[in-house]
Structure 1
Amino acid sequence: MGELQLPPLALYVHLPWCERKCPYCDFNSHESRNLPETAYIDSLLADLEADLHFVQGRVIQTLFIGGGTPSLFSAAGIGRLMQGIGQRVALADALEATLEANPGSAEAEKFAGFRAAGINRLSLGIQSFQNEQLAALGRVHDSDQAHAAVAAARRAGFQRINLDLMHGLPAQGASAAMADLATASSYQTGHLSWYQLTIEQNTVFYKQPPILPVEDVLADIQDAGEIQLAAAGLEQYEVSAWAAAGEQCRHNLNYWQFGDYLGIGAGAHGKVSFPDGRIMRYAKRRQPDAYLAAAGDWRVQP
């Protein structure tokens, strides 16, 4: 029996800190007090080295730095991380390198540095362009900062930008949801992620549920949104992602198409295929303090 052809390989990097935990968020994110940037990047690179024997000779096609709020890290830190990754593993010439960023003004000032570090796709956590909705979601930015962040990303040289939006927000009607979509579409970034707010366990909203739109309103929002997104030239290519032709997120497509991915950082998951047909799945220690203290023992059972 011959060896199997291996799927494309991606790399996911998790930076778990946020300025403030949002009340709807059930991701592995933690409020930052004293951000251990240098120590954490050291651990990330050592973590990557420990995984490389699983993927010897393979090339990373896409890289995604998620969180948390990765843009809390300095541009110099992201540069050191990207340089360290490139020194340890082969990166494709056409590498897609995405970083999630908060629209706050402090982060926007770093965008040019992120671009110089090798990040070529920015994902902005806008969620809404309306101050009332942003306040209801517990976001740390306002509408002006959301607009400014898109402009700052463009000035920094980013040609590929995703805008994250949410709908089905507390007391939101269809007209308000469509206004957000219209504003986002007007920027013509080529990619929108449009998620319905869901209430998850282990969140503030689960313990103190807000009043959300009824099912009929949610259905109206979904139907009207799909029409509006199509009219803007965007096509739905996965559950909550819409893109212009050629602007799909290749990293996310790799997940949907059962590709392989290394995962480094607190709580990151990985999946690696082998030529003999075996598939290995793994996870890394979830708590940042435990991850930092692991010293070579990052992997746990997923």
Structure 2
Amino acid sequence: MTGDASASSLIVGGAASSPRAPLPTLPPLSLYIHIPWCVRKCPYCDFNSHTASPVLPEQEYVDALLADLDQDLHAVYGRELTSIFFGGGTPSLFSAQALGRLLKGVEQRIPFADDIEITLEANPGTFEQEKFVAYRKLGINRLSIGIQSFQQEKLKALGRIHNGDEAVRAAGMARQAGFDNFNLDLMHGLPDQSLDDALADLRQAIELQPTHISWYQLTLEPNTVFWNQPPVLPEDDTLWDIQEAGQALLAEHGYAQYEVSAYAQPGKPARHNLNYWSFGDFIGIGAGAHGKLSHPDGRIVRTWKTRLPKDYLNPAKNFQAGEKILSNDELPFDFLMNALRLTAGVESRLYPERTGLSLDTLAEGRREAEQSGLMQVEPSRLAATERGQLFLNDLLQQFLS
């Protein structure tokens, strides 16, 4: 299988050719591994996921993932991995044997940090106690369980393969398998959902005592069944009531909001996601995976891999489908699009450290955003106000070149 970067499409923004300052230090490095198969495609899902055949090509896909990683090793520059995230699709469809061979191969290529966080996405309909005990023994130390709702009529509307009882059992099985750090994924703003429905889901999730809850509103995305056949969603007033009451309930039970849709117990935010939002680096391997890699000379490159599994596994095709060097004009928006998702923002010093650009390049947009009440007036931090969090798109417009 070839993977020559020169054969991929290289897009260079207008100012990318003018050099920026070399980065003083390279950001922390994470690894994202995409496993694209699901039991069934959900009608709201716009991720790169595909209905699985009865027998998955585990061996071939692990071989391809490691070969894909080999072609990105030039961008490691001696760093260790601080986190790994298996996303999908449904990674828990893969056997522990396959994931074990993959993790061993990754560690042979890039050293793991002593406290590395390794997260696996799983759906309740794929939970088998023995399999998850084996996952834990591999060193996978965090789960992200796709619940979405505990209510049968809502799960049916969302096309989920599990029921509410299986969702509850999945959390218990995760804990019994040795996972003391796990996330529950939960949606709100579901078809015909009332305020009471939404809060009942949240209360059930809190009762299961996960360390982390991702709680986000259902949105209708292009290229999905729901986009072409929209369900009846709650009115805006109901959505606002759900958001306010849900945030209060989470805070009451010790789940602090640290990102637009992420709530964690003390000391338990998702470190992999924090690296994304703070403009860290990540290698992306697997069908359709995206990456972001910094180089000591100042280049910051976003990459994306071949999307369709059959093409990704085709020896005649490249793993990498394209790459884009971020230009000086694009970097302010790209950095803040990530950093301002964090409720506390980031320290101002992180901007020159991670982009090679002076803080002066943000001055005009920052001044306008502060005057509009969208950004906090705090020289040592780049952070949105509460109003800015609500109108993040408007805030980011201030930094478009």
Query: Which TM class, normalised by the smaller chain length?
Result: over 0.9
Aligned to 1:157: 178
Aligned to 2:290: 269
- Give 1:244-283 correspondences, 5 Å limit: 244-283=265-304
Q: Per the alignment, do residues 172 and 3 of structure 1 end up closer, same or farther by CA in structure 2, a change over 3 Å counting?
A: closer
Whether the 8 Å CA contact 1:101–1:107 is kept in 2: the answer is no
What amino acid sits opposite 1:268 in the alignment? A
State the alpha-carbon separation in 2 of the partners of residues 270 and 256 from structure 1: 13
- Give 1:161-172 correspondences, 5 Å limit: 161-172=182-193
Q: Per the alignment, do residues 180 and 293 of structure 1 end up closer, same or farther by CA in structure 2, a change over 3 Å counting?
A: same
Q: Per the alignment, do residues 293 and 142 of structure 1 end up closer, same or farther by CA in structure 2, a change over 3 Å counting?
A: same
Q: Does 1:215 align with 2:236?
A: yes
Whether the 8 Å CA contact 1:13–1:264 is kept in 2: the answer is yes
Deviation at 1:296, TM superposition (A): 7.3
Number of aligned residue pairs: give it.
Answer: 302
Which structure 1 segments of 5+ residues have no match? none
Q: Does 1:6 align with 2:26?
A: yes
Deviation at 1:189, TM superposition (A): 1.4
Which structure 2 segments of 5+ residues have no match? 1-20, 324-401
Deviation at 1:105, TM superposition (A): 5.1
TM-score (structure 2 length as normaliser): 0.73
Q: 2:208 aligns with which of 180, 187, 203?
A: 187
**Which has the higher mean CA deviation after the structures are superposed, 240-249 or 80-89?**
80-89
State the alpha-carbon separation in 1 of the partners of residues 120 and 315 from structure 2: 25
Extract structure 1 runs of 4+ deviating beyond 6 A: none
Deviation at 1:107, TM superposition (A): 4.4
Q: 1:24 aligns with which of 37, 40, 44?
A: 44
Whether the 8 Å CA contact 1:105–1:149 is kept in 2: the answer is no
Q: Does 1:82 align with 2:82?
A: no
State the alpha-carbon separation in 1 of the partners of residues 199 and 127 from structure 2: 29
Whether the 8 Å CA contact 1:4–1:277 is kept in 2: the answer is no
**Which has the higher mean CA deviation after the structures are superposed, 286-295 or 229-238?**
286-295
Q: Which structure has greater strand proportion? A: 1
Q: SS of 1:77's equivalent?
A: helix
- Give 1:200-239 correspondences, 5 Å limit: 200-239=221-260
RMSD: 1.3
Aligned to 2:397: none
State the alpha-carbon separation in 2 of the partners of residues 140 and 270 from structure 1: 30
Q: SS of 2:268's equivalent?
A: coil
- Give 1:36-185 correspondences, 5 Å limit: 36-104=57-125, 106-185=127-206
TM-score (structure 1 length as normaliser): 0.97
What amino acid sits opposite 1:126 in the alignment? I
What amino acid sits opposite 1:122 in the alignment? L
State the alpha-carbon separation in 2 of the partners of residues 23 and 198 from structure 1: 11
> Which structure's CA Rg is the greater one?
2
**Which has the higher mean CA deviation after the structures are superposed, 106-115 or 221-230?**
106-115
